[in-house]
Structure formats: structure tokens, C-alpha cells
Amino acid sequence: RIEDETADAIIHDIRGLLRSFKIKTYDEDTGYGLLRHVLVRRGFHSGEVMVVLVLGSPILPSKNNFVKALRKLHPEITTVVLNVNDKKTSMVLEKETVIYGKGYIEDTLCGCTFRISPKSFYQVNPVQTEILYMKAIEYAGLTGKERIVDAYCGIGTIGLIAASKAKEVISVELNRDAVRDAVTNAKRNDIKNVQFYNADAGQFMVEMAEYRADQKKNQVPDATKSGKKATPEGNVDVVFMDPPRAGSDEAFLSSVIRLAPKRVVYISCNPETLARDLKYLTKHGYQAKECQPVDLFPWTKHVETVVLLSKGEVDSKKIRVEFSLEDMDMSEFQDGATYPQIKEYVLEHTGLKVSNLYISQIKRKCGIGVGKNYNLPKSEDSRQPQCPQEKEKAIREAFKYFGMI
């Protein structure tokens, strides 16, 4: 019910042509036969249609006549590509040769025109994709001043659509064919504030984070002065991430933490890996602010989801709060942290248990008030145990953590 009717009709008629041209289908078990797969891609707005014939060997008998017969049945086909895959593999596409047309199709999405090659990723439901991408860009809260990273960018869709609302876009993608399309798409739409990098998104982000750390230590020369093309400067305001079903690895996620963008917009096609990755990000300082599922795959269990994460900054709004000091135990506000908080911190970080007496002794040493007659001995000749050096060090570390010294 969700497959494209034109694509279905083309595949049906190719089955009929196989008999006429005496072409055998490939048997995955024996390795015999010629035609392994048929891939049909159709531009929703442009109407352009690409047919990719995946073969087990390089030669398609009477290929010109085959294309003529196919186009006679379907004149809407604008390009036909042969893709040769002679390996025993689950990968569908390998080496390709264009036998009719330009070897790619174009389509329009969110006002931009995109070139789509056989190996390039493009969402199969363009109507819902526009809703998904516009929601993602809305979540980014762009003002025209932001530096964006578009990770797993594919043919550049999200980054190019967002470019008009941002200062700069850095897009990274491992698929070389997709990057080639993305560069063409930027030129096609006259977008000049986007840079594309053909690299693994995780490794690229790690290098950006390391570059930023080195810059802070003044260990990295200015790339513009040295004339070398270095990893982009690490300051980033927004990260768009649209990973495959496996989600992101910890190297990528940890690099996001190190880069510390104000917002992360996560687009996912797998709720399970999304939940796993959100757990990591929220554990390291981000908060999931908003979440919107978008149904790109009707009548199936699959769903795309876009999530906004931020560093948890408070909006600059004044909030009026009224409370009575008479009803409050002011001991809870002594010198930055309560005694129970200090005890808990010391126990968690050192495994040591400390008493109120020891804490008050170290407070006095540090010049921190402990209140009148707090923890004094009951009689003048009684002797108080003194805080051991190990516990004194742990208490002082707690004071530093709570900003008391």
C-alpha cells in the first residue's frame, strides 16, 4: 500500500521483458543467473524516474533494445543505470554504468532542488519528509548567527535547507557518491555558506572536539595564516544528527559532549537506538526538551522521530517567587552546602564517612562560620577527637566542589 504505483508498474513490466529477452534472474544460493535486483527511484515533484538494474555479471544482452522496450512501455523513465555486483554479499549496489539518460534524477524538497544518484540516500516519503525537516529546523531555533554541523548529511538535504537561516553549515558524510551529489546540490541552489567533508561522522566529530581543545591550549596554528586545510574550528552552536538505524557510537556522542553545542537536533528512524543515545546525552548534561514523531511509513511499525536537546539554559524571563523566611530552616543555607550534602559528596567520591564534628572543625580551619556553640564539647575538660588528615582532605575537596573555599 505504501509503494509507489509507477515503480510497481515498471517492475511488473521488467518481469515480462525478462522472458522476452531470455534473461535469467540471479539465484543467491547457487550464484547462477544475471539480474539480481531492480531499484526504481522517482522524484515526487519532478516526476523523473531512475531504473537501476543490478546484474551478477557485466554484460546485459541486447541492452539497447532492452532499454528501448522498457521506455516504450514507460516513457516517464528518464535514466537507466547498470550496476554490477558479482560478489556474494548482502550489499545491493556496487560498480555502476549509465546506459541511458544522465545517471541521476532531481527532486525538490523544502524549496531546494536535489540531485539523487543511485547510491545516495533520499527519504522515500517526500511529503512527510518536508514536515520532518521543517520541524528539525524549527527546533534548531536559528537566527542567522549559528554555526551548524550536519552529521550524516547524505546528499546535504537538512544542511542546505537550513543554510539560509544560519551563518555557516559544516556537513559530513561517509558515502562518497552522496557527498558528490551534495556539492552539486549546493551549487545548483546557489548556496555558498556550506562546507562538505567526505569522512566518517564519528571520527570527524572527534577530530573537531580535539581541535577545539588544542585551540584552547593555544597549540593549534591559525589555519588561515598557515594556508593549510585543517579540521574546522571546534566552536559549534547546533548539531543536526540523522544517523542510520544503528544510531550513533559512543565516540560520536562523546565528541558532541566535548563540542558542547547549545542545541542538538536528533533525527532517528529507530526508537530503540534513539532511546539508547538519548540516555547517554542526558547523562552528560543535555536535556531532551521536545520530541515529535513523524509517520513516514504508514501501516508499518516504523516511525521517524525528531528530538530537541539543549544544555538546559534558563530562558531570560523574570520569575516572581514569594516565600516566608519565618517558615524556613536557615541551617540548610549555611555557607553553600548542608552537612548532609557534604557527607554524601565525601562518601560518594572517597568512600569515607565523616561526622558533623569533623566538618565543623575543618570549617573553622577554613574560616567558615559554623554557628554559635555548634558542636562544642559538653564540658571544659572533655577532649574532642580531631579530624584525621585523610578525611580533612576529603572535606576540603567537598568545600571546593560546593564553592565554599
| pLDDT tens-place string over residues 51-92 | 999 998 888 888 999 999 999 999 999 999 998 888 776 667
Which 8-state DSSP code applies to residue 388? P
> How many C-beta atoms surround the C-beta of residue 204 within 10 A?
22
Active site residues: 269
Instruction: Indicate the helix (H) or strand (E) that contains 11.
Output: helix 5-20
With 80 as the cut, is the pLDDT of residue 330 above it? no
Cβ-based burial of 258 (10 A; exposed 0-12, middle 13-18, buried ≥19): middle
For residue 33, give the 3-state DSSP assignment.
Answer: coil
Q: What residues pair up with 52 in beta bridges, in sequence order?
A: 39, 81
The pTM of the full predicted model, rounded to 2 decimals, is 0.67
| Alpha carbon distance 62, 78 (integer Å) | 19
pLDDT band at 381 (very low <50, low <70, confident <90, very high): low
pLDDT digit string (tens) for 25-58?
Answer: 988 888 888 999 999 999 989 999 999 999 988 8
- Summarize the confidence of residues 124-152 as an average pLDDT: 92
β-pairing, 105-109 vs 95-100, is unpaired
How far is 55 from 65, CA to CA, in rounded Å? 17
Residue 87, Cβ neighbours under 10 Å: how many? Answer: 10
The percent of residues above 90 in pLDDT, for the chain, comes to 46
